[in-house]
Chain A
């Protein structure tokens, strides 16, 4: 295991390489979820990365700029920057691990960022767990979480600033407080603009895992991708929203399906 900084002095990124083998067929770059979801799942994905490495699948975990141990403040986190960082991490993994096949493993917003990054730098593999399909709706959910937090944890009977106030601040170029993170106008503009999912899967081989509640919107996109030349495996599993709470419970069926898929795809390539 190697803990290191990479990137540039002015845009320093933090990464952890889990690699227990000298040469490898398949390696993954883990794109973490956003904000508190990243924190709540951090220990669990670190443990799982160690387990994957023991199974001969090295993993590079990295922190996008403005998050975790990387440089910058939370206001510096933008989609554009995160996509750039995912590409940098991919190149870094290629240099450090030199696998035969390299891909992204993304969770929630991290999965969406992985798709966008793979459009810039094509990858062999793409593993997605519960990707954010509608970024605009996700942003609204984040705003609602901020309001709920005020009501529950700060004992307020009426919120001081509602969603509309937050949007007004952002549109006037002011950052807002989102669960203790500084959410920048730039990130707001990117999320509000939304984005169109690509017509084709951006990887040769894709695994998309969805929870039961995500099946309907996901299957529309999967159908489109499966109609293209790419191979897309789509599985719906009854897992809880594991990113919402601090717990040691890991989505076991997601993990088992992913491991089986990685091993099988290595054999059938």
Chain B
């Protein structure tokens, strides 16, 4: 069952949807689903809608909402990262109080995962009991904004990825012979120039907030599950830049932090099979958290993660 709700975040009304279980469960646990950048609450290929339905089918509550002044929420507002964090805090308090939850969990995708980490810090004692963070945006160099079409806006990253990766000769030949390639190159250069000649304060603020994610993660003490697709570009970034020398303790046996990989998965798990795997992992994790039994994982080594053990839910 779904209820349309209005969450108050300061002076802002947020339009939300709560998925409720068919029968009142013994322990009431809710999951706040935090969507990615510049998107709406049902998400790319309806992943958040499907998650909400699956969680409710498994006796859990789920809340999705649109940020202030965007999509189905009233009024128009140029949303900042800190607005998102405030909205997430307001949404989790609303959810706890209005649905009389025993505990609450965060589930975030990409920027939504970064918002979850910031909000968990701000909530203090009301922080979520656990977090599942998918394709987390934790490197400021990856942070971009819709006005830049989400293109990379950092010059050094651009040069590294666009000019030095792959064959330079091949790229030169394509530039000369392929009109579409030239058009794309022109668009990228235009984006970069636009970024460097624009005021840039909004992007600068976003990047400084994203830069704090790694540190905040290391301070969060609740169980945390990271999920990546092994074809997602943000995975090597996470391994090399955020979890440097395993500062998050993913390789430690007693650690409550776990890394799950979906084989062949991309940034948003945009294959039906991958979406279903992600949904089943999420419901299993949330049920385990509700029942007070730590989620069980089988660990195995992976070359992709540079020796950090990767896990899969135990059968």
Check if B46 is an interface residue, CB within 8 A of chain A.
Answer: yes
B4 touches A50 (CB 8 A): no
Interface residues of B in 38-90 (CB under 8 A from A): 38-47, 49, 70-72, 74-76
B273 beta carbon closer than 8 Å to chain A:
yes
Nearest neighbor of A160 in chain B, beta-carbon distance: B264
A155 at the interface (CB under 8 A from B): yes
Instruction: Decide: A153 near B231, CB < 8 A? Known: A69-B49, A179-B45, A247-B147.
Output: yes
Whether B272 contacts A43 by the Cβ 8 Å rule is no
A-B contact pairs, 13 of them (CB 8 A): A46-B40, A47-B76, A68-B40, A69-B17, A153-B231, A153-B266, A153-B270, A177-B272, A182-B272, A246-B37, A247-B147, A247-B149, A248-B38
Within 8 A of A (CB), among B157-214: none
Q: Which residues does chain A contribute within 8 Å of B38, judged by CB atoms?
A: 43, 246, 248
Closest to B49 in A: A69
* Chain A: number of interface residues, binned into ranges: 20 to 34
Docked complex: A51-79 residues within 8 A CB-CB of B: 51, 67-69, 74
Tell me if B231 and A39 are in contact (CB < 8 A).
no
A194 to B224, CA, bound (A): 50
Q: Is the CB of B231 within 8 A of A155?
A: yes
Known: A179-B270, A180-B47. 13 other contacts (CB 8 A): A16-B15, A36-B44, A42-B39, A42-B40, A46-B70, A50-B76, A69-B17, A153-B267, A180-B268, A180-B272, A181-B45, A182-B272, A248-B145
Return chain A residues, CB-CB under 8 Å to B150: 245-247
Residues of B within 8 A of A177 (CB): 271-273
Interface assignment of B146: CB less than 8 Å from any CB of chain A = yes
Contacts of A50 in B (CB 8 A): 74-76
A149 and B46 CA atoms in complex are apart in Å by 17
Kindly list chain B residues whose C-beta atoms are within 8 Å of the C-beta of A16. 15, 72
B70 and A39 contacting across the interface, CB-CB below 8 Å: no
Q: Interface with B: A1-9, A97-105, A111-119, A224-232, which one? A: A1-9
Which 6 A-B residue pairs are closest in the complex by CB-CB distance? A180-B45, A248-B146, A180-B270, A153-B266, A247-B149, A177-B272
* Total count of chain B residues near the partner, CB < 8 A: 38
* Chain B: CB-nearest residue to A181: B45
Contact present for B271 and A1 (CB under 8 Å): no
Q: How far is the CA of A247 from the CA of B144 in the complex (A)?
A: 11
Map CB proximity to B onto A161-202 as digits: 1 under 8 Å, 0 otherwise.
000000000000000010111100000000000000000000
Cβ-based interface call for B283 (8 A): no
The verdict on A249 contacting B39 (CB below 8 Å), with A3-B72, A4-B4, A46-B72 known, is: no
Closest chain A residue to B70, Cβ basis: A43
Name the distance in Å between B244's Cβ and chain A's nearest Cβ. 25
| CB neighbours of B282 from chain A (8 A) | none
When distances are taken between beta carbons in the complex, the residues of chain A under 8 Å from B266 are: 153-154
**Chain A residues, CB < 8 A from B234:** none
Query: In the complex the two chains form, what is the Cα distance from A46 to B76 in whole Å?
Result: 9
Residue in A1, A180, A245 whose CB lies within 8 Å of B275: A180
- Interface contact A247-B146, CB-CB below 8 Å: yes
> Which of chain B's residues have a CB closer than 8 A to the CB of A35?
45
Chain A: CB-nearest residue to B36: A246
Measured CB to CB, the nearest residue on chain A to B15 is A3
| A residues in contact with B146, CB < 8 Å | 246-249
Min C-beta distance of A22 to chain B, whole Å = 18
Kindly report which residue of chain B lies nearest to residue A5, judged by CB atoms: B4
Q: Which residues of A contact B72 (CB under 8 A)?
A: 3, 16, 46
Closest chain A residue to B232, Cβ basis? A153
For the complex, what is the distance from the CA of A47 to the CA of B150, rounded to whole Å?
19
- Chain B residues with Cβ below 8 Å from A5 are 4
Taking a contact as CB atoms under 8 Å apart, the answer to whether A249 and B272 are in contact is no
Of the candidates B15, B43, B149, which one forms a contact with A249 in the assembled complex, judged by CB atoms under 8 Å apart? B149
Chain B residues with CB under 8 A of A155: 231
In the complex, A129 Cα to B39 Cα: how many Å?
22
* Residue-wise interface mask of B (240-274) relative to A, using a CB-CB cutoff of 8 A (1 in contact, 0 not): 00000000000000000000000010111111110
Write the nearest CB–CB distance from A71 to chain B, whole angstroms. 9
Chain A minimum-CB-distance residue to B41? A69
Which of A39, A153, A247 has the most CB atoms of chain B within a 10 A radius of its CB? A153
Shortest Cβ distance from residue B10 to the other chain A in the assembled complex, whole angstroms: 18
Contacts of B45 in A (CB 8 A): 35-36, 39, 74, 179-181
Chain B hits for A3, CB < 8 A: 4, 15, 72
Closest beta carbon of chain A to B108's beta carbon, Å: 17
